[in-house]
Amino acid sequence: MLQSAGPVITGHTSRAARRLAVVIGACLLAALVLTAAVERAGTAQAKPRADQPNIVVVVTDDQARVTMSPEVMPNLYTRMIPEATSFSDFVVTTPLCCPSRAAFMTGQYGHNNGVLSNFYPDLRQKKQVLAAWLQTAGYKTAHVGKFLNKYEEQDSPQTVAPGWDLWFTQLEKRKYYDWKASKNGDLRRFGTDDADHLTTVTNRYAASWAGRLAARDRPFFLQVDYYAPHTGPGRDEICKGAPKPEPEDVGRFAGAPLPDPPSFNQDDVTEMPSFIRDRPKLTDEEIADITDHYRCTLESLYGVDRGIGQVFDSIKAQGELNNTVFVFTSDNGYFFGEHRIPKGKPYPYEENIHMPLVMRVPTRYRDGAPLVTESDAPVANIDVAPTLLELAGATPCLRRDRCRIMDGRSLMPAIEGVGGLPETRGIALERSSCEYRGVRWDRKLYVAYSAPDTTGCVPGEAEMYDTAADPYQLHDLLPASEGTPNDELRVKLARKMRRLGSCQGIRRRDPQPPPGIHYCE
């Protein structure tokens, strides 16, 4: 549904936005809020270069939080994190590759953008995406790496997705060696030599394009979507059935111990839903396989981190580090034996939805506010696009009357430490495979299942956790006796889940939703 958008900014106004507000002040006094927002969208391209930061976004694939450490990702920890805000309560609303990325690029839940499974053709308003909005605002845009699943089923492999000026994108079927890519619409093939490794090539293009773009006067948006540490075929038996590290990193973490949280190979599953209770304990052989997979994951991420360092170096060489916003995150997590789940990402437990988010915003784009190194605000992947649009002085519009209503909020209040984000905020969880709907609110999580699949989830079952008191989710609070505090919490969360499951936009920022639809939180 195409509508005029409300203002991107919620509870906060950046320096660039205030300057723009002065320019159109007469219009704001004479027009409705919605009309004013549209005028702002139309003038975004006129902003001077100094007011628009370069933006670099790095996204990994299937990276569990437990794999993120200074030893595995030294460049991330020494070059980005010390000057960034890390969000300790960041979740992805649909923990699966394609839906998670669609939420990032639209600022919308899957029930609004259409993507709740690994199928790009389901995306509604395909031209109304973050890259296109930044392009409209004057940015040069570049994509390197993986794009949304089944993109080629919507368009030919050579087609460049909407919004991208530069396009180097891996084509399916994805592999670490002997793979294909589209370079600005031309087919490129890579073989089985060391230099053909997917991460090596991704790093090479990302660093090269970062340097070229940083050398220009025009602001740029570079998104680097790594395939690592996703499981994929290689050229030999090294890390069989696991991510494939670059050749120089093979064996780098050969002695790394497998994490052993209380949820690992969980002893007591009597307080868990049936699809966990019915799982046998992991065998020694399965644990050995999980350990190998974990070590290969660490080794593959070391190569990703090498690329982060190379991109930093390219931008630094052009003197643009202080003009560049960096974002690091992952599309979803991965299980390494927690809750007796040997691998994959089938359920919305913390291991799969609670992801890293690091945003480095230079002082000049924080209005000089002191650095907030960590925020525990409840935030989600739908919030990244509104944040970047605010920084760029842009709106989610291609034309004044053709906009997307975003469900997320700008994170700039948290980054600047000025408040403005809800301390308790309901975030919807949703997925069409092993169909479930859920909500995460005030460190409580409630999920209800409605359709079975190969993962074994049972229609009609639900589970609920207090993740503050039970961070490893060992004690399902359901079923709860009628009238008890847990039952009252269940009723409250179920009601919130239903409201958020069809929500749209943010109150006082966006137009009133249609009848029967509620604002998001």
Three-class SS state of 220: strand
Do 161 and 143 touch, CB atoms closer than 8 A? yes
Over its C-alpha atoms, the chain yields an Rg (Å, rounded) of: 22
What superfamily in CATH does domain 15-500 come from?
Alkaline Phosphatase, subunit A (3.40.720.10)
Half-sphere exposure (Cβ direction) of 114: Cα atoms closer than 13 Å: 11
**Distance in angstroms between the alpha carbons of the first and the last residue of the chain:** 20
Q: Which two tokens stand for residue 516?
A: 């029967």
Dihedral Cα 489, 474, 448, 341, nearest 10 deg: 170
- Quote the pLDDT of residue 30: 29
- Quote the pLDDT of residue 451: 80
Beta bridge partners of 429: 438
Alpha carbon distances (Å) from 242 to 89, 203, 455, 459: 28, 20, 20, 31
Do 300 and 70 touch, CB atoms closer than 8 A? no
CA distance 143 to 101: 13
In the chain, domain spans: 15-500
- Quote the pLDDT of residue 244: 98
- Mean pLDDT of residues grouped by 10 in the chain (521 residues)? 37 40 34 34 39 97 98 98 98 97 98 96 97 98 96 78 97 95 95 98 98 97 98 94 98 98 97 94 98 98 98 98 98 98 94 98 95 97 98 94 95 93 94 89 96 78 97 97 98 98 97 95 98
- Quote the pLDDT of residue 50: 59
Say if residue 44 is exposed, middle or buried (CB neighbours under 10 Å; 0-12, 13-18, 19+).
Answer: buried
The DSSP secondary structure of 52-75, one letter per residue, reads: S-EEEEEEESS--GGG--TTT-HH
Q: Residue 209's closest CA among 188, 183, 185, 180?
A: 183
CA distance 391 to 439: 29
